[in-house]
Amino acid sequence: MENREEAPFPAVPFTLKEAQAMGVTPGRLRNRDIAGISKGLYRPVSWEFELRDAARVLCTATPGAWISHSTAARLHGLILPPWLSASNELHLSKPRKLPETRRNGITGHTVVVREGEVETDGELRISTRARTWLDLARTLPLHDLICAGDQLIRVPRPEFEGRVAPYATLVSLRDMVGHHGNLQGIVRARAALGLMRVGSDSGPETLLRLAMLDAGLPEPDLQLTLWNRPGSPSADAGYRLRRIALQYDGAHHLDELQQQSDRRRDNAFRAAGWTVMVFTQDDLADGFEGAVRRIKRALRDAWVDPAIASGFSSGR
């Protein structure tokens, strides 16, 4: 008797229609190595959860829907607090005119969207980074929402990121917020916009700045350059008038070559008479409380450059 070769089997979650198109028989779908996820959705038992795979099959199985909220945030690589960054929650949105998605393990939303707020990424329909930020306003605490917003508006470094434009601007985000006045979380989104700044290159840099503002310290300048010319060393934040440079050195600064670069940077500031204050993950862990106390002392003790001070007072 001639053996019939089985149709090739997907290694990731798949829909019933995809299985049928590949020639997989109904009987094969009842084998023990296949698990039913939901109506018309299956996965190999051996499949280990991958967020993008799960998101793809949901989009395929749900016409008119797109990946949104924290699921979209994770796929976009947005800054999220620890309690959400490791979550495998699956959020799926539809326009208001369609019925809400009802599947086990899926959080469905029906929302109002404007043109350009949903994009296609490969086989995914997904909310844009900007719209995802707005959707997160309903759940993220204010400081975390500001961190994600600062990430969107920061000026990228083309040599490292392959792009020249930020993902959004304050103007474009304000425009979007203005068109969604009834969205849950809109008040928090407006508050975040008022505290977002171009120049924070990481979440901890934003949290340091916010901790300083909460403590009543003057708002620092961001990406403060030592000299006004290309190639100048720069500080993450600081006060030019008082010659104080603030640096946050995260985990990647533990690399030996990076540490050498950091020493050259800091030595250049010190040679020019600046006070350099370096903060690390230990400072982040205590909410920058100790860092704020150190910055307060430095501001009290700082020497003010009279030439710079006169320039400020004369309006130059």
> What pLDDT, in 10s, does the model give residues 110-166?
999 999 999 999 889 999 999 999 999 999 999 999 999 999 999 998 888 889 999
Could you tell me if 223 and 285 lie in one domain? yes
Could you tell me if 14 and 151 lie in one domain? no
Among residues 172, 195, 218, the one where a domain terminates is: 195
What the block records as the tokens of 223 is 């990406």
Could you tell me if 145 and 7 lie in one domain? no
Could you tell me if 176 and 306 lie in one domain? no
Could you tell me if 183 and 70 lie in one domain? yes
Q: What is the mean pLDDT of residues 186-195?
A: 98
pLDDT tens digits, 75-115: 999 999 999 998 889 999 999 988 888 887 889 999 999 99
Could you tell me if 175 and 208 lie in one domain? no
Could you tell me if 33 and 75 lie in one domain? no
Per-residue confidence band for 36, with pLDDT thresholds at 50, 70 and 90: confident
Question: Which residues, in sequence order, are CB contacts of 293 under 8 Å at separation 6+?
Answer: none
Could you tell me if 208 and 245 lie in one domain? yes
CATH of the domain at 232: 3.40.960.10
User: 87, 276, 76: which is closest to 167 by C-alpha?
Assistant: 76
Per-residue confidence band for 310, with pLDDT thresholds at 50, 70 and 90: low
Could you tell me if 272 and 307 lie in one domain? yes
User: 56, 70, 73: which is closest to 125 by C-alpha?
Assistant: 56
Could you tell me if 214 and 258 lie in one domain? yes
Question: Which residues, in sequence order, are CB contacts of 16 under 8 Å at separation 6+?
Answer: 29, 40, 41, 42
The rounded mean pLDDT for the chain is 89
Task: Note down the domain range covering 20.
Answer: 1-48
Long-range interactions of 77-83: CB distance < 8 A, separation 24+? 78/129, 78/132, 78/133, 78/136, 78/148, 78/151, 78/152, 79/144, 79/147, 79/148, 79/151, 79/202, 79/203, 80/140, 80/144, 80/148, 81/140, 81/141, 81/144
Q: Say what the pLDDT of residue 107 is.
A: 92
- Between 67 and 251, the higher pLDDT residue: 67
Question: Which residues, in sequence order, are CB contacts of 228 under 8 Å at separation 6+?
Answer: none
Inform me whether the pLDDT recorded for 204 exceeds 50: yes
The SS3 call for residue 38 is strand
What percent of the chain is predicted at pLDDT more than 90? 64
Domain count, the chain: 3
Q: Say what the pLDDT of residue 308 is.
A: 56
- Between 238 and 311, the higher pLDDT residue: 238
Among residues 15, 30, 48, the one where a domain terminates is: 48
Q: What is the mean pLDDT of residues 286-300?
A: 96
Q: Say what the pLDDT of residue 3 is.
A: 42
Could you tell me if 89 and 185 lie in one domain? yes
Could you tell me if 44 and 54 lie in one domain? no
Q: Give the Cα-Cα-Cα angle 278, 280, 284 (nearest 5 degrees).
A: 125
- Between 19 and 192, the higher pLDDT residue: 192
Among residues 178, 195, 212, the one where a domain terminates is: 195
Inform me whether the pLDDT recorded for 255 exceeds 80: no
Which residue, chain included where needed, has tokens 């860092």?
A: 291
Q: Say what the pLDDT of residue 257 is.
A: 74
